[in-house]
Amino acid sequence: MKWLPRVFLQVYWVRRVKEPRLSGDLPVEVVWKFLRIMEGNSFQVPTDAGVRVELVLLGSRMNHSCLPNALRGPGREKGTVEVRALRDLGEGEEVNVSYIGEALSKPTAPRRAILEARWQFKCLCERCQASDVLRAFRCEVCGGTHLVPGVGTGDSENSVGPCLACGAPGFAVDALERRWDVAFLAAEQDLGRAGRAVTAALEAKDGAALTAAVKDAFEALAAANRAEENCTLQMSHHLRLRFRKARVTLRSLVGDAFAAAGESASAELWGQSTVELQEGIEMEKQTLPFPRDKLVSELIQLSGLYRKLGMAPDAKRCLEDALKVMELIYWASEAPEAKQMKRDIEEALKA
């Protein structure tokens, strides 16, 4: 057998969860050892009632990877755990899952810090050992790309390696990155405030307030564009990806405001947002090649923009893509809102 199909894992990796019990007269050192085992091998699963702690004989032996090939979640029967492959697995390939959820979207250094603080190990997975594509910097010589090297190379996590295009030497990036983080954060806060004002005016149907809010929104968008001028971070850098999403959200809201006023400029604003959001999604798919919750919300947002532009086939395609991601990951969620979102999309696709 050259590969292991997804369906095999769906059936095979199911084990019943047992409730651990401790005797009241155990020595302190035994209880302490048990708690350390629980912390290092258990999974904390959010539920409506709080958090459920799971310690499973086989499932708890699965290693973490920042580029996981499987996902764990509740089994079909109460009290079971199920593991599903996210892709077809090769013969002898290790099955690994992520311990850190949405934190997978973070660069290498903060991901490893979370893992070391919670599970006391320094991650050396394939992704951590590779150059960090979420920390990409523009080469001042040729415009190419410098990347922060992966762990295990002996290089500092605050310096980049030679340019991938021209070989120009690397340089320290910690101060540079902090400067752009501060600049983008300030601009994002202005974008967020302007967006909340536009939303409030639209909901109140207050024409005067909407006019003022739109004016402030355009000023925030212009300031955001200025903040990004001469940026030395490449578009795949996590700070620019985050910044782009904030700008897309506000521009889309301004388009809604123009539409409410019967202005044709709404289409241009929605079109710009659509292009920018689509580019961001495609770039993140390359840097984060695994299904994510945030990808679902971004595809739904993109579908809404296409629908406003009258591009029904594209809107439907985005919902179909979102549903595919949901089918891979939302079976593992016990949150009612996640299940309701999936039902809403299924209904929308039937319409």
Q: For residue range 109-152, what is the model confidence (pLDDT) as tens digits? A: 999 999 998 888 899 999 999 999 999 999 999 999 999 999 98
Domain annotation covers residue 261: no
**Amino acid residing at 65:** S
The Cβ-side half-sphere exposure at 336, using a 13 Å CA radius, reads 2
Say whether both 139 and 57 belong to one domain: no
Q: Is 168 strand, coil or helix?
A: coil
Last residue of a domain, one of 55, 80, 98: 98
Give the range of the structural domain holding residue 120, as residue numbers without chain letter. 105-172
Q: Look at the block and give the residue holding tokens 């199920």.
A: 82
Torsions phi, psi for 76 (to 5 deg): -70, -30
Last residue of a domain, one of 57, 78, 98: 98
The Cβ-side half-sphere exposure at 192, using a 13 Å CA radius, reads 8
Domain annotation covers residue 7: yes
Say whether both 128 and 93 belong to one domain: no
Domain annotation covers residue 36: yes
**174-204 vs 238-260: helix axis angle to the nearest 10?**
20
Task: Output the pLDDT for position 338.
Answer: 77
Domain annotation covers residue 345: no
Say whether both 164 and 134 belong to one domain: yes
Domain annotation covers residue 222: no
| 168, 264 contact by CB (below 8 A) | no
CATH code, 40: 2.170.270.10
Task: Output the pLDDT for position 19.
Answer: 54
Say whether both 93 and 109 belong to one domain: no
Task: Output the pLDDT for position 39.
Answer: 76
Say whether both 127 and 150 belong to one domain: yes
Task: Output the pLDDT for position 6.
Answer: 41
Write down the H helix ranges in 205-292.
Answer: 207-228, 238-260, 265-287
The total number of residues shown for the chain amounts to: 351
| Alpha-carbon distances, residue 235 vs 230, 281, 285 (angstroms) | 12, 12, 13
Taking the C-alpha atoms of 106, 110, 112 and 116 in order, what is their torsion angle to the nearest 10 degrees?
-130
Domain annotation covers residue 212: no
Buried b (16+ CB within 10 A) or exposed e, 76-89: eeeeebbbbbbeeb
Domain annotation covers residue 284: no
Say whether both 110 and 167 belong to one domain: yes
Task: Output the pLDDT for position 166.
Answer: 97
Q: Is 335 strand, coil or helix?
A: coil
Say whether both 36 and 118 belong to one domain: no
DSSP 102: G
Say whether both 7 and 48 belong to one domain: yes
* Cα separation, 265 vs 254, whole angstroms: 10
Domain annotation covers residue 241: no
From 133, 131, 181, select the one nearest 161 (Cα to Cα): 131
Task: Output the pLDDT for position 18.
Answer: 53
Say whether both 13 and 92 belong to one domain: yes
**293-308 vs 336-350: helix axis angle to the nearest 10?**
30
Task: Output the pLDDT for position 14.
Answer: 44
| 240, 224 contact by CB (below 8 A) | no
Domain count, the chain: 2
* Cα separation, 122 vs 151, whole angstroms: 10
Last residue of a domain, one of 172, 192, 219: 172
Say whether both 89 and 109 belong to one domain: no
Say whether both 115 and 91 belong to one domain: no
Given phi > 0 = left and psi -120 to 50 = alpha, else beta, which region is 64? beta
Torsions phi, psi for 142 (to 5 deg): -125, -5
Residues of the chain with pLDDT under 70: 1-24, 46-48, 332-335
Say whether both 8 and 87 belong to one domain: yes
